[in-house]
Amino acid sequence: MEQPKKEQSVGCHSAEGLSVSASAQTGGHITAPVLSHTTVTGNVTVITNVSGSSNPADIHSQNPGKTSQNFKDGYKKLICSEYAYVTEYNSLPGEHVLLTDRYTELLIIQRHREQSEREKEIRTIGEKFFSARDSEKYSNITVEQFFSPDDHELIPKAVILQGNSGNGKSFTALKIMLDWASGTVYTDHFDFIIHLKCKEINQISGEKSLVELLRYSQSLTPAQISQILQHSPERVLFLIDGFDELKLSQDNMSNLSLPTDVQTPASPESTLKALLSGHLLPESFLLVTTRSTATDTLSKLLKKQPQRFTEIMGFSERGVEEFFQRFFKDDQLLQTQAYELVRANETLFTACFIPVICWIICTVFRERHKDSTELTNGLDTATSIYVDFVSTLLDHHCQGLSQSVPSLLRSLGQLAERGMLEQQVLFDKKSVSETVSDPTNNPFLCKFLFKRKIRQETMFSFMHLSFQEFFTALYYALLNEEKSQSIVRELLQSLDPTQLEQQRNNKLYFLPVIQFLCGLSNEEVNISLMETHNLSVSPNIKAELKEWIIYMEMFILYCLYELHDEDFVKKAVETWENIDLAGIPLRRTDCWVLQYCLQFCPHIKRLSLMGCSITSEKLKILQPAVCRSEELALTVENLSEDDVGVLVSALGEGKNLSFLGLENSVLSDHSVQQVLSSLNKQRSLGLVSLTVKTITTSTVVMLSEVFQNETAPGYISVEVNEDSVESFCSSLSVSVINGDFRLSVEDNRWMLRFSEISSPQTEPSLLAISLTCPHSQISSINWTTFIQIIYGVKISRENSPEFDGQFDALLSFLRSVSGLKEVYLNVNSLTESWASRILSLIQTCPSLQDISFKTGEDGEDLFFEEEIRLLQHCEEVPDPTLTVEGMGCMTPTDECTEQSQWTQNCNLNVNLQFCGENFE
């Protein structure tokens, strides 16, 4: 049964005798206009310093002091629980890390920097960049000191914490909340800290009072919020994070529509503005984080005095190292390796002052390490890290952008290019507004206010010169192909070293832009840009860059040679370990210059001289450098018999010979033996390609012996340099793949193209043969007999006793090869003799897994219908796979004799695959 409502009253009397009274039902509340000299009638609780409250029963009990302390303790416990863990940008559902494991102390200063000071920092890199931050000018103020007395012994009522995107403003806000709740900061200053995130406030619709607004940001009831606001508001700190993200219209900038008490509804932006301007809770304290682009707007709103301005500068050098230590706290070796590698890269090391970039680099290292990739190979390029950084800001710091991503990046690139051309890093407001549509909401720009006599001047910049260079390169790369190629070509031509003395307007300061262009031309970076933001880099840029790089490489070598200062050259080349000149034609003078510089390299890990037009004469010049290299890729042209000793001396011993090519050489068996003997002395072998005077049985035997050694190459090919009646074939190749030895013999001197012959070649002529068997069987095969039989089959005419004898000998030899797995045959045409013998081999060789038969050089010579039927109607079903490829002649009578007949009738593509009982 409902209880009757009791009326309570409040009587208020002013000093002049004015009396004000009000009444409310039990459970209601009263807003009293006068709160001094108050007379209370009835069981009523009067709440001061706040307009409005919830049910008094929720606020006070018989022991209000104890209840208040219990409530504060409970709130702090709740904050400790909610803020103990953070999710990272790439966290999967349920993944999180301890805030204390990630947070690293940031460099925070409390002064406005001069224009010259900012410009110097933007242009400085590496050790000089971080050294400047250790100076007295960058005297650090800690979070604990934010509300300490100033020089006039006054405690700030409001603190502005300014910082660029990714510099750690929000992370610092989280850490303040956790540390306060844990009792390590501000315990003597504030009983409550209330955290408001502007990004979340933007999502709130409708009109809300401050009490209602705080419900969205805190896990508190209205009664609890009201108690906090009325219980000594001078002990309450509002931590407002991300002011720059708050959507403020022109109406919001006016004071006309601001709420006057914490219970009055208004738009969320107006309510927050009332709090910032002191219209609500003027006794409370404020700590507001913002990007520099919104600091001037914030300062116009803040009316509380005194104020303290602070700026997060990111990490100091010590901070960068500490972040790596915290990130890799469970792996000391990985921590040290990662930090030292990044420290050696000036561009990346400088960018590490931005905490988000530090996190990206460490995350990449961790993933590389999980994949067991060697760290030195896993160090991502500066370009790829910058691309990841841009993607991170676009995904997480660009809510409510007024333009598309391509348009945003294009406008930034145009501004960056203008600065590069004019050698500027600070931009005035007018020039920025002409290019970038909404600079104050752009996360990649920084905004500064400078004093100019009696007025202020607004300037913008990129976070660092390296970002200006990156956006310039990105702008060029994302233009249409024709324009992109034209601009890059013009830029590279302007950097031609031979013209620098004549050029007044040289563009050496564009060299970092070219480095970023190279990075943007990388395939993985291209894929990343396409997948994340549907951005395509012009493919023509890469070709332009490669051509220019080749030219510049030799120019640098010539500069060192002309300088001829041994101490300086040693210093210049001390880190050269991988020298790749593949594809660059080298003159004799080039070789002298290269040898001069390489003699000062302490360690030549890898040297690539493939396709460099190296002759024996040039090889003599480069011999010392070639001999010192640990890994070598080498092509030598026109090597004669007398020059083999030079090659053998240059190869030396114990190398990882990834490639050796002897082109257009005329080597005898004796010279081939010298080369092969040298190969046996190497640590490992890759591909070897030789051209010789003639290929004999001795050549085959020598190659088979090489492949019996532990250091056998993966592949060796030998080709005859010119027609030789002594050579039984034109090319020979030997390889070992997955434990199987494969020998292939080919004679293209006998091959006639389909269009060059006037009638089909029905006489047998063996064009090529290859066989595959286990590597362990090489030594048991009589290769001399094999070559003699092949030569006999090749020169015999079908239907002759010689042909039958040689063919039977070939079949007998193949059957004798233990473990024979594959056979490949290429003849001019498939005749009945060939067809029947193929079937015979299949039926009598149980280890055979695959046999391929092709007519003509490209499978374009003839089969005849009768032979095809013979294969199709074989009663014995073979186990291996039989593949037959060529052109079919379907003439019902005798073979075609005239070219017109042959062209008309012999045009059926035949590709048969016989496996088990099925033809395809």
pLDDT digits (tens, 9 = 90+) for 110-154: 988 888 899 999 999 998 999 988 887 788 899 999 999 998 999
Domain end position, chosen among 265, 288, 314: 314
> Percent of the chain having pLDDT more than 70?
80
Does some domain include residue 714?
A: yes
Residue 7 binned pLDDT confidence (cut-offs 50, 70, 90): very low
CA distance 483 to 476: 8
The most confident of the ranges 276-285, 758-767, 848-857 is: 276-285
Does some domain include residue 125?
A: no
Residue by residue, what is the 3-state secondary structure of 257-285?
CCCCCCCCCECHHHHHHHHHHCCCCCCCE
Residue 525 structural domain: 405-547
Tens digit of each residue's pLDDT (9 = 90 or more) over 733-774: 888 888 889 999 887 755 433 334 434 444 446 788 899 999
Tens digit of each residue's pLDDT (9 = 90 or more) over 666-698: 888 899 999 999 988 999 889 999 988 888 888
Taking residues 149-165, what's their average pLDDT? 94
Residue 596 binned pLDDT confidence (cut-offs 50, 70, 90): very high
**Confidence (pLDDT) at 223:** 84
Kindly provide the residue ranges of all beta strands, DSSP E only, lying in 211-330, ordered along the sequence.
236-241, 285-290, 307-314
> Do 888 and 816 belong to one domain?
yes
Residue 705 binned pLDDT confidence (cut-offs 50, 70, 90): confident
Tens digit of each residue's pLDDT (9 = 90 or more) over 463-487: 999 999 999 999 999 999 899 999 9
How far is CA 538 from its chain centroid?
18
Does some domain include residue 713?
A: yes
- List, in order, residues 6 or more apart from 417 with CB less than 8 Å away: 472, 475, 476
**Confidence (pLDDT) at 872:** 57
Is 728 or 235 the better-scoring residue by pLDDT?
Answer: 235
Taking residues 187-208, what's their average pLDDT? 92
For residues 555 and 497, the answer to whether their CB atoms sit within 8 Å is yes
For residues 655 and 608, the answer to whether their CB atoms sit within 8 Å is no
CATH of the domain at 659: 3.80.10.10
**Confidence (pLDDT) at 916:** 56
Residue 889 binned pLDDT confidence (cut-offs 50, 70, 90): low
CA distance 544 to 540: 7
> Do 367 and 458 belong to one domain?
no
Does some domain include residue 398?
A: no
> Do 748 and 697 belong to one domain?
no
Task: Say which DSSP state 353 is in.
Answer: T
CA distance 868 to 872: 6
**Confidence (pLDDT) at 533:** 86
> Do 684 and 756 belong to one domain?
no
DSSP-derived 3-state class of residue 717 = strand
Q: How many residues does the chain have?
A: 920
pTM: 0.65
**Confidence (pLDDT) at 763:** 47
* C-alpha closest to that of 444 among 409, 489, 395: 409
Residue 546 binned pLDDT confidence (cut-offs 50, 70, 90): confident
Q: Is the pLDDT of residue 820 over 80?
A: yes
> Percent of the chain having pLDDT more than 90?
40
Whose tokens are 């092949």? That residue is 790
Domain end position, chosen among 341, 364, 390: 390
**Confidence (pLDDT) at 799:** 67
CA distance 459 to 293: 10
**Confidence (pLDDT) at 66:** 62
CA distance 85 to 727: 77
DSSP-derived 3-state class of residue 167 = coil
Q: Name the phi and psi angles at 738, rounded to 5.
A: 55, 40
Q: Is the pLDDT of residue 910 over 80?
A: no
For residues 316 and 261, the answer to whether their CB atoms sit within 8 Å is no
Task: Say which DSSP state 153 is in.
Answer: S
Amino acid (1-letter code) at residue 803: F
Residue 40 binned pLDDT confidence (cut-offs 50, 70, 90): very low
Segment among 416-425, 504-513, 650-659 with least mean pLDDT: 504-513
**Confidence (pLDDT) at 800:** 75
- List, in order, residues 6 or more apart from 467 with CB less than 8 Å away: 386, 416, 444
CA distance 754 to 857: 9
CA distance 802 to 792: 8
Segment among 642-646, 830-834, 913-917 with least mean pLDDT: 913-917
Domain end position, chosen among 266, 299, 314: 314
CATH of the domain at 308: 3.40.50.300
> Do 310 and 324 belong to one domain?
no
Residue 16 binned pLDDT confidence (cut-offs 50, 70, 90): very low
> Do 270 and 379 belong to one domain?
no
**Confidence (pLDDT) at 186:** 96
Tens digit of each residue's pLDDT (9 = 90 or more) over 304-324: 899 999 999 999 999 999 999
> Do 52 and 197 belong to one domain?
no
DSSP-derived 3-state class of residue 24 = strand
> Do 84 and 173 belong to one domain?
yes
**Confidence (pLDDT) at 736:** 86
**Confidence (pLDDT) at 793:** 80
For residues 560 and 573, the answer to whether their CB atoms sit within 8 Å is yes
Distances (CA, A) of 698 to 695, 718, 783: 8, 13, 9
Residue 891 binned pLDDT confidence (cut-offs 50, 70, 90): low
Does some domain include residue 905?
A: yes
For residues 685 and 714, the answer to whether their CB atoms sit within 8 Å is yes
**Confidence (pLDDT) at 838:** 79
Question: Which uninterrupted H or E stretch holds 578?
Answer: strand 578-580
The number of distinct structural domains making up the chain is 6
**Confidence (pLDDT) at 62:** 46
Does some domain include residue 112?
A: no
Per the prediction, the chain carries an average pLDDT of: 82
**Confidence (pLDDT) at 761:** 43
Q: Is the pLDDT of residue 36 over 70?
A: no
Q: Name the phi and psi angles at 677, rounded to 5.
A: -65, -40
> Do 432 and 471 belong to one domain?
yes
**Confidence (pLDDT) at 779:** 84
Does some domain include residue 866?
A: yes
Q: Is the pLDDT of residue 777 over 90?
A: no
Residue 53 binned pLDDT confidence (cut-offs 50, 70, 90): very low
CA distance 35 to 902: 117
**Confidence (pLDDT) at 909:** 63
Does some domain include residue 766?
A: yes
Please state at what angle helix 222-230 crosses helix 210-217, rounded to 10 degrees.
110
For residues 507 and 553, the answer to whether their CB atoms sit within 8 Å is no
For residues 6 and 31, the answer to whether their CB atoms sit within 8 Å is no
Q: Is the pLDDT of residue 3 over 60?
A: no
> Do 578 and 705 belong to one domain?
yes
* C-alpha closest to that of 831 among 796, 857, 806, 855: 855
Q: How do 918-919 and 908-915 pair as beta strands? A: antiparallel
Taking residues 327-355, what's their average pLDDT? 90
CA distance 47 to 56: 9
For residues 729 and 695, the answer to whether their CB atoms sit within 8 Å is yes
Is 709 or 534 the better-scoring residue by pLDDT?
Answer: 534
> Do 182 and 246 belong to one domain?
yes
> Do 493 and 574 belong to one domain?
no
Taking residues 523-539, what's their average pLDDT? 88
How many CB atoms are located within 10 Å of the residue 554 CB?
16
CA distance 162 to 287: 11
Cis peptide bond N-terminal to 892, omega within 30: no
DSSP-derived 3-state class of residue 133 = helix
Instruction: For residue 270, give both structure tokens.
Output: 């107006």
**Confidence (pLDDT) at 568:** 93
